[in-house]
Each structure stands twice: as structure tokens, then as C-alpha cells.
């Protein structure tokens, strides 16, 4: 599959490229990226045919939205799809008073959770002003999961299903956005949101990867039934499916435990047999599912971006997927590339 291949975005009146540019890194997560590199990556993605860009107020306390808008501002607005998120408002504040972790040299804004109707409308308008673009096409409710909110998650989820949902549904009804959804780290939260409300789409960080397919049990079948699109970010499980089972490999932001390392070693053995790069298999597996039109990848350098694009296009024989299944390394019911 080519990164520039366009696919229908669920039931929404949108076509998206199968590779999407994720902007968390240009929000300076963990370490800074300079303005020139940020712009060069977005222009390189554009030159490679990528036309789907995902950002959020959280990324760099507004920095990623500022940089995304800067790099896309003079493109024909009808030529690309843009998604951002609500659930946090940004308030200017002295840098010395802001806890930026895990962002580095971010914008001078405080992050404030807000899932009310009024707060959502304000956050939506603020994002458009930061980007200086006339619209976003897709808007996700951000981080209403246990991973982010801990013990407060049930109450936060309820607030979002009332206040934020009402605001986004109104914006969709008015034609201001074409698709609304939820962006979280847990498929179970997406599943519950889809059961409760009429969402068009989801952005799921991991949870459907070469290492994790539990979402095939209930969530992804419901998405197919409802024609809801799912975008997968974090498809490398935060590192190990890109690096392989090396010493210090990360799995879901922590050192990979031995059972995960052993499984990845098994996948790597099949990769060597068929001359398939592990990251290529990780990326292409995700978008083989009929409910998943795009894989979102964030990169730190133009070279890293180009490598991702190469992996996404790398030829993989169908026998490779059959071998993974025969060795018990992949669920039998997992869709694989044709």
C-alpha cells in the first residue's frame, strides 16, 4: 500500500490517505524539535502524497497546532484532511509557573481539562485560531480514559458524554465538522462511547497492533456494523515493534516484559524468513482491518519520516501473514493485507 492511497473515512463525507502525519513530536514531546525541522517534515509528508494531519491542543501546550497551521496555511484547504481534539482549554501563563512534562520547550499555556458544552465550544474556536485555518474536518474528545484520568475516569467520561458530546454533535449537525469521535488509549472506552452515542470515528493509541488484538472481540466488529472509522496511533506499541526485541525495548511506555520480548523475537524470525522489516509488518497489519483507514505516525526527523514511508510501502507476501498465524503469533481472525 502506498502512503498516498486514499480510503473512505467510515460513513463521513471524507477520504483520507492511508498514512497520516501525527504531530505529537512537533509539540516537543520529551525533547525539542526546531521550527525548521518541523516544517521540513510536514512539507516532506506533503510531497510524498500524505494529506491527513492529526494534531491536538495538548501537544506542546498548543505548539503542535501552531506549527501545523504554519506549515499547512498556504495549501489548498480542500486538498487535505485535518483533525484536532477538545477536552482541554489553554490559558496563557508564566513559563516559570507551568509544569510542561513531558513536553519540552512548549508554548506558554496552561492545560485545563474542560468537558463542558461551553468549554468545548471555546476550545474548538481556540484551536482554529491557533492554526489560522478556517476549519478542522474531524474533532475528537481527548483523553477520557483510565490511562489519563485514573480514578476520576467514570465521572470524566460521563461529563464528556453529556457536555462535550452535545457541543460536537451540534457542530456536526451544522456542518462545521464532518466527523466527531473519541481519542484515547483504551479500546474499551471507545467501545462504551460508541454504545452510548452516535460517534463517527475513533483515534486509538495502540491496542490494535501485531502484539494486541483484543479489540477484535467486540469493539472493531461494532465499528464495522456502525461504519465508524478507527485511526491507529502508537502502532509500534511505543517502540518495540520498531526497534525489535533489543535490550531496553519499550512496550507501552515501559520496559518490555519477557513474554512480550519472546513474542517479538518470534515475529522477527518470520520477518527474517520473508525479508520483511518488522516495522513494515506492524504498519501494514493495522490498515488491513476494514474499519481502519489510516495509520498515524509521528516522527522527529525527515529521515525518520522517509523511513516510515518506505516501510509502509514495502512489499509483503501473503505467505508472511499465514506463517505468523500458523505459529500462533497472530490471531486467526485478524484481517491481513491481501
* Whether the Cβ atoms of residue 169 and residue 203 lie closer than 8 Å to each other: no
CA distances from 183 to 52, 105, 168, 274 (A): 16, 24, 14, 35
- Left if phi > 0, otherwise alpha if psi is -120 to 50, otherwise beta: which for 10? left
How many Cβ atoms are within 10 Å of 183's Cβ, its own excluded?
A: 29
Beta bridge partners of 279: none
Q: Which helix (H) or strand (E) holds 22?
A: strand 19-22
**305 sits in which H/E element:** helix 302-313
52-54/19-22 β-pairing: parallel
DSSP, collapsed to helix, strand or coil, labels residue 268 as helix
DSSP assignments along 160-200, one per residue: IIIIIHHHHHHHHHTTS-SEEEEEES-HHHHHHHHHHS---
| Residues annotated as catalytic (active site), given as ranges | 54, 59, 85
**What is the distance between the alpha carbons of residues 202 and 299, in angstroms, rounded to a whole number?**
21
Residue appearing with cell numbers 476549519: 135
- Three cell numbers, residue 327: 505459529
- Residue 225, Cβ neighbours under 10 Å: how many? 10
Q: Residue 166: which of 189, 143, 196 has the closest Cα?
A: 196
C-alpha distances in angstroms, 7 versus 43, 81, 200, 294? 21, 12, 15, 8
Amino acid at each position: 500500500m502506498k502512503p498516498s492511497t486514499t480510503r473512505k473515512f467510515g460513513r463521513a463525507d471524507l477520504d483520507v490517505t492511508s498514512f497520516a502525519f501525527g504531530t505529537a513530536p512537533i509539540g516537543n514531546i520529551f525533547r525539542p524539535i526546531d521550527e525548521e525541522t518541523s516544517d521540513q517534515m510536514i512539507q516532506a509528508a506533503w510531497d510524498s502524497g500524505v494529506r491527513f494531519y492529526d494534531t491536538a491542543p495538548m501537544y506542546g501546550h498548543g505548539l503542535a497546532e501552531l506549527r501545523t497551521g504554519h506549515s499547512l496555511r498556504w495549501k489548498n484547504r480542500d486538498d487535505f484532511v485535518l483533525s484536532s481534539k477538545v477536552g482541554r482549554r489553554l490559558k496563557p501563563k508564566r513559563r516559570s509557573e507551568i509544569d510542561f512534562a513531558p513536553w519540552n520547550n512548549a508554548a506558554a499555556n496552561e492545560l485545563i481539562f474542560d468537558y463542558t458544552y461551553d468549554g468545548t465550544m471555546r476550545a474548538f474556536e481556540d484551536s482554529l485560531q491557533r492554526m489560522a485555518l478556517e476549519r478542522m474536518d474531524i474533532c475528537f474528545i481527548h483523553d477520557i480514559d483510565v490511562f489519563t484520568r485514573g480514578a476520576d475516569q467514570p465521572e470524566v467520561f460521563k461529563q464528556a458524554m453529556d457536555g462535550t458530546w452535545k457541543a460536537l454533535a451540534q457542530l456536526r449537525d451544522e456542518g462545521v465538522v464532518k466527523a466527531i469521535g473519541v481519542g484515547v488509549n483504551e479500546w474499551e472506552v471507545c467501545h462504551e462511547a460508541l454504545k452510548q452515542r452516535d460517534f463517527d470515528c475513533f483515534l486509538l493509541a495502540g491496542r490494535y497492533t501485531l502484539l494486541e488484538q483484543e479489540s477484535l472481540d467486540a469493539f472493531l466488529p461494532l465499528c464495522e456494523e456502525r461504519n465508524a472509522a478507527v485511526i491507529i496511533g502508537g502502532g509500534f506499541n511505543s517502540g518495540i515493534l520498531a526497534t525489535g526485541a533489543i535490550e531496553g525495548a519499550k512496550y507501552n511506555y515501559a520496559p518490555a516484559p519477557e513474554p512480550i520480548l519472546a513474542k517479538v523475537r518470534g515475529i522477527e524470525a518470520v520477518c527474517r524468513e520473508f525479508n520483511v522489516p518488522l516495522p513494515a509488518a506492524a504498519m501494514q497489519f493495522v490498515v488491513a482491518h476494514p474499519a481502519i483507514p489510516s495509520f498515524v505516525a509521528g516522527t522527529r526527523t525527515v529521515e525518520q519520516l522517509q523511513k516510515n514511508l518506505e516501510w509502509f510501502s514495502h512489499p509483503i507476501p501473503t505467505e508472511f501473514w499465514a506463517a505468523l498465524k500458523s505459529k500462533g503469533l497472530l490471531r486467526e481472525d485478524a484481517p491481513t493485507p491481501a
